[in-house]
Chain A
Amino acid sequence: MITLKIKDLGELKKKVGKNNLMIVCSTCPYWNFSRETVDEVADKLNAGIFNVDRICDRGDISIDVLDYDSVLVFSCGAGTQIISEALDIQAIPAADTYALGVNFGETIQTYCRACGNCILDETAGLCPLTRCPKGLLNGPCGGMQKGMCELGEQPCVWALIYRRMEKKHNLDGFLKINMPPVSGK
């Protein structure tokens, strides 16, 4: 699912008025956050909630927003654009949109950046473009230590790819040169 991060509420408060509406998509926000969290965001921003079923499937949205000082949209960036165009307003995004995530209960991890150039069959089924902070296509950087990424707690995806290929006796696959789209490959 699409990963969302709620924007800084202090900064959002500066952008909204006293009587606001927060249009909430039925899918991604409730996949990323609990209903309580969504309610809490609306409360803090003096906004009532208007739920819309899958904004991205809707070309016919019609909501009367004339009585509100500001309209927030809690969805992905596509949803905020649909609302802005359909209602002819300048909607305020309540969240930042990231790539596609996987829910591990306590945490959501980004697994796919929807790049349109899938090479998962070349990389043991794990995406280095998304899961390596540098998006390196051909192996780990020198910062990998004990199989961990130099930037923090996450494992180095190239260490995972290496181990998977080693386990499957396919280390020759590691030697394949993955070229970027500009090369035509």
Chain B
Amino acid sequence: MSELMKRLGNEFIYTTELIPPKVPDLQPLNKAISDLDYRITAVYVPDLPAASLCMSSFFCSLQLITQGVEPVYQINCRDRNSLAIESNLLAAYASGIVNVSAVSGEHPAGGDHVGLKTVYELDSITLLKSIDYLNKGRDIAGNTLLKKVGFFAGSDLSIHSNPAGAQLYKTRKKNAVGAGFFHTRPVYSIDKLSSFFDEYRKLFGEDLNVKAIVGIQSLTSIEQVNYLRKQPNHVIPVKIVKRIRESGNPREDGIQLTLEQIDEIKEINAAGVHLLCGGDAGLTEEILNRI
């Protein structure tokens, strides 16, 4: 059983992410791992994020294990077929990886390998189903495994995409095939998040908040805010933009904002917060110190 599994729902947890570096050198990776704060329950390792070249999430998750840190190993469905994914999953479980996040994977149109041949044999839901199969001792093709695995599987959650109903129904499907936790894309309006949870409860009679680890992007400058506003899934309310723009100390105001958001997230009984600090270990530490 992983720490994430043990703590989720029992205490308010903090996760963060480790973007695999794009260098054939272990030093930057090991430095990033050694800078991680001890109060983080698990570290999310994205699989070739933005469809751009970097080290593999599998390898980086193994490095985290080696250094005593618990990973959330993300697997996308864009780059591998079901056989290759299951093969990685067997090796991952044998190596001590328990938390796996299943995502479909960003389209390569926005990445650094435009024209890439994509796979998408599975999607986030059928990947979750495949993991559920492995947990029950069989593979997707129906072959029996010699030994069951015991993954704790989760996925991502997009509350800004609309029609919201389509996302709500897709989220229900993820729950139905065994998603135990959800990392949300960056959320800037807790009211919006709360409404999504309410809608979900109304439709399906179950609580989503207890499984949701809410992505909070720390804002440190107006340049960063302006950049993020142009990215998909970063819906930043005008009052936040104004606050950072007019601030004499945007980093400090950004930290204040994150702390306020964490309080609001606690009030709606979400499972925890996913701190997105762009690899700035000092910023993560400062936020955790001031909670």
Contact = CB atoms under 8 A, between A and B. Distances in A.
Given A150-B107, A159-B163, A138 B123 contact: yes
Nearest to B142: A184
A177 B125 contact: yes
A144 B162 contact: yes
A180 B124 CA distance: 12
B172 to A, nearest CB: 6
B142 to A, nearest CB: 6
For chain B, what secondary structure do more than half of its interface residues adopt (helix, strand, loop), or is it mixed?
Answer: loop
B162 A177 contact: no
Contacts, number: 108
Interface residues of A, number: 32
B63 to A, nearest CB: 28
A161 to B, nearest CB: 8
A134 B163 contact: no
B52 interface: no
B166 A177 contact: no
B141 interface: yes
A150 B176 CA distance: 26
B251 to A, nearest CB: 29
B169 A141 contact: no
A144 B173 contact: no
Contacts of B169: 139, 162, 171, 174-175
Given A144-B161, A162-B163, A162-B165, A180 B121 contact: yes
B176 to A, nearest CB: 7
B226 interface: no
Contact of A135 (B120, B129, B165): B120
A86 interface: no
**B: interface residue count bin:** 35 or more
B258 interface: no
B245 interface: no
Nearest to B185: A142
Contacts of A113: none
Contacts of A142: 156, 158, 160-161, 167, 185, 232-233
A183 B129 CA distance: 11
Nearest to A166: B165
A54 B120 CA distance: 34
Contacts of A134: 78, 104-105, 107, 118, 120, 123
B192 interface: no
Closest 5 CB pairs of A and B: A142-B158, A139-B170, A162-B166, A138-B125, A136-B123
26 contacts: A134-B78, A134-B104, A134-B105, A135-B120, A136-B120, A138-B170, A139-B166, A139-B167, A140-B161, A141-B104, A141-B161, A144-B161, A144-B162, A144-B167, A145-B160, A158-B166, A162-B163, A162-B165, A162-B166, A175-B169, A177-B129, A179-B126, A179-B140, A182-B121, A182-B140, A183-B142
Given A137-B125, A175-B172, A179-B129, 15 more contacts: A136-B123, A141-B104, A141-B158, A142-B156, A142-B232, A142-B233, A144-B166, A145-B160, A147-B163, A150-B107, A174-B173, A182-B82, A182-B140, A182-B141, A183-B141
